[in-house]
Amino acid sequence: MLRMRITSKIFGMALAANLGSKSLHTVVMLRHGESLWNMENRFTGWCDVPLTEQGEADAVDAGVLIGERGLKFDVAFTSNLERAWRTCALTLAAAGQSGVETIRSSMLNERHYGALQGHHKDCPKLVEVYGEKKVLEWRRSYHTAPPSLYDGEFLEKIGPAGLLSSAMNDKYIDAQQLNTALNKYPSMTSSIFTANAANDRSIAPTTESLQMCEQRAFGYWKEVIAPRVIAGERVLIVAHANTIRALVKAVDKIDDHKIAHLKIPNGIPLVYTMDETLTPTDVTDKNDELGFHARYLVSARNHEKMMRYESSVQKKMRSLFEYLDVNNDGKITHQCLMNGLARLRNNKTINEQTNTTTTNVDRTDSAQTDLSEYSIEELIRSVPHATDGQEGITLKAFLEAEATLLPHLTNLKLLQ
């Protein structure tokens, strides 16, 4: 992926020391910020819905975080859907890199959900008509596609609401097929849908399984993105949950059936470091059930979301370590812990109800346990070969001390 040219020499040296290679490529993948239909829990697919205010904030936060970590890009790839390209633009602007070449392609568009698009994911009528098992198969199966966008039987049983929602972006709608599908609904007009001369309808699907979406996205990766990564360009990819799943599956060689269970959070950058063959080199948790080797970039703002999405404790700890390592020198000192905890806790005190074991460290008799009062020294001392808080904890020691550190980190709500 992209050859890492970090502006921060210290960060670059720490990265090289951790990964032990002279010719590494790094790529950052980012799912778009929260969209309107994410918020409304609808099947979105190729419908061109905008970001919410929260989604725009997600994008800006990702950009700030990327800038803080010293990541620079030569080229950005994104989809033709607004929620992705808008996220890409906001992220690059917040990272101070608005001038980066940006390439849009519908090959990175979200999986097409066919006639399901526009419907609520918990729509009771879908389950009533087709059964919970079939609806779940449409959503999660690797090989099964939902009913086509123009499926007459589905339109008859469920209604054309999903089709009309899909038609909100006529760039991907065939006007003739749309009129044919809707002609049995005289109360609804399709006159607002016009042909678009500059469109992608020639390659636009009318439904996709996860496998079909993967083949589309992987083809673009193989033919367009990967060659530029191998050539040493620094690459950002801003896309969608399923197209990022497809790229992750290809990079990490994840099993067909396991990949559907990988959750991709909105607005949290995922960083891969790879060798010359584009094989991931940064394997934090060898016991990771999925074999997912990207690293999350964590901030005070996205920390809780990352904890909800990620199941690997080691990956959570790795992300937390990098967040706390504010000097990018591969160590967490006493001061790093203090400052990092304060940021994650929004500079508020930790109420003693958070952890009953802290009741004896309220040294100022304030009925609250301040961050400065909490026994972080004990946490540091519990790590082998890191008894001096000033020398700090290395990543290796931090990960190896998982069993000892986990209760402390959980009590502070830094891990869940």
Considering the domain architecture, whether residues 266 and 167 belong to the same structural domain is answered as: no
Considering the domain architecture, whether residues 90 and 214 belong to the same structural domain is answered as: yes
* 345-381 confidence digits (pLDDT tens): 664 433 333 333 333 333 444 444 344 444 455 655 5
DSSP state of 223: I
In a domain, 85, yes or no: yes
Asked whether residue 295 is marked as a ligand-binding residue, the answer is no
Of 55-64, 212-221, 254-263, 375-384, least confident by mean pLDDT is 375-384
Asked whether residue 253 is marked as a ligand-binding residue, the answer is no
Q: Is the pLDDT of residue 233 over 80?
A: yes
Asked whether residue 110 is marked as a ligand-binding residue, the answer is yes
Considering the domain architecture, whether residues 20 and 102 belong to the same structural domain is answered as: yes
Considering the domain architecture, whether residues 288 and 359 belong to the same structural domain is answered as: no
Q: 16-20 long-range CB contacts below 8 Å, 24 or more apart? A: 17/330, 18/282, 18/330, 18/395, 19/273, 19/281, 19/282, 20/281
Asked whether residue 363 is marked as a ligand-binding residue, the answer is no
Asked whether residue 112 is marked as a ligand-binding residue, the answer is yes
Q: How far apart are the first and last CA of the chain?
A: 31
**What is the pLDDT at residue 6?**
35
Give, in order, the Cα–Cα distances in Å from 320 to each of 19, 302, 391.
18, 11, 19
In a domain, 52, yes or no: yes
Q: How confident is the model at residue 383 (pLDDT cuts 50, 70, 90)?
A: low
Considering the domain architecture, whether residues 139 and 127 belong to the same structural domain is answered as: yes
Asked whether residue 219 is marked as a ligand-binding residue, the answer is no
In a domain, 350, yes or no: yes
Q: Which residues are marked as active site?
A: 32, 110
Provide the mean pLDDT of the chain.
76
Considering the domain architecture, whether residues 27 and 97 belong to the same structural domain is answered as: yes
**What is the pLDDT at residue 301?**
77
Considering the domain architecture, whether residues 7 and 73 belong to the same structural domain is answered as: yes
Q: Of the residues 182, 198, 229, which one is the last residue of a structural domain?
A: 182
In a domain, 203, yes or no: no
Q: Is 281 in contact with 23 (CB distance < 8 Å)?
A: no
Of 6-10, 127-131, 401-405, least confident by mean pLDDT is 6-10
Of 204-218, 332-346, 384-398, least confident by mean pLDDT is 384-398
**What is the pLDDT at residue 274?**
85
Asked whether residue 31 is marked as a ligand-binding residue, the answer is yes
Asked whether residue 35 is marked as a ligand-binding residue, the answer is yes
**What is the pLDDT at residue 60?**
96
Average pLDDT of span 105-113: 95
Residue 51 backbone phi and psi in degrees, to 5? -75, 150
In a domain, 10, yes or no: yes
Higher pLDDT, 194 or 332: 332
Considering the domain architecture, whether residues 253 and 163 belong to the same structural domain is answered as: no
Listed in sequence order, the residues at least 6 apart from 214 whose beta carbon sits closer than 8 Å to its beta carbon are: 242, 245, 246, 249, 250, 259
Considering the domain architecture, whether residues 132 and 151 belong to the same structural domain is answered as: yes
Considering the domain architecture, whether residues 15 and 80 belong to the same structural domain is answered as: yes
* 154-168 confidence digits (pLDDT tens): 988 988 777 777 666
Higher pLDDT, 294 or 128: 128
Asked whether residue 276 is marked as a ligand-binding residue, the answer is no
Q: Is the pLDDT of residue 269 over 60?
A: yes
Given the structure tokens 């079939």, which residue do they identify?
Answer: 134
Asked whether residue 71 is marked as a ligand-binding residue, the answer is no
Sequence-ordered alpha helix ranges (H) in 95-166: 124-130, 132-140, 152-158, 161-166
In a domain, 397, yes or no: yes
CATH number assigned to the domain comprising residue 7: 3.40.50.1240
**What is the pLDDT at residue 300?**
74
Report the percent of the chain where pLDDT is more than 70.
68
Name the residue range of residue 226's domain: 2-111+209-297
Considering the domain architecture, whether residues 148 and 270 belong to the same structural domain is answered as: no
**What is the pLDDT at residue 243?**
96
Q: Of the residues 278, 297, 316, which one is the last residue of a structural domain?
A: 297
**What is the pLDDT at residue 8?**
38
Rg (CA), the chain: 24
**Which two structure tokens, joined as six digits, stand for 230?**
């191998």
Higher pLDDT, 15 or 150: 150
Q: How confident is the model at residue 133 (pLDDT cuts 50, 70, 90)?
A: very high
Q: Is 327 in contact with 10 (CB distance < 8 Å)?
A: yes
Of 256-270, 319-333, 346-360, least confident by mean pLDDT is 346-360
* 302-321 confidence digits (pLDDT tens): 777 777 766 667 777 777 77
Higher pLDDT, 245 or 257: 245
* 170-195 confidence digits (pLDDT tens): 677 766 676 676 666 655 444 434 44
In a domain, 196, yes or no: no
Considering the domain architecture, whether residues 121 and 11 belong to the same structural domain is answered as: no
The structural domain count of the chain equals 3
Report the percent of the chain where pLDDT is more than 90.
39
* 279-291 confidence digits (pLDDT tens): 887 765 554 566 7
Asked whether residue 25 is marked as a ligand-binding residue, the answer is no
**Which two structure tokens, joined as six digits, stand for 391?**
């020398």
Report d(CA 350, CA 191) in Å as an integer: 59
**Which two structure tokens, joined as six digits, stand for 380?**
């540091």
Q: How confident is the model at residue 388 (pLDDT cuts 50, 70, 90)?
A: very low
In a domain, 130, yes or no: yes
Asked whether residue 411 is marked as a ligand-binding residue, the answer is no
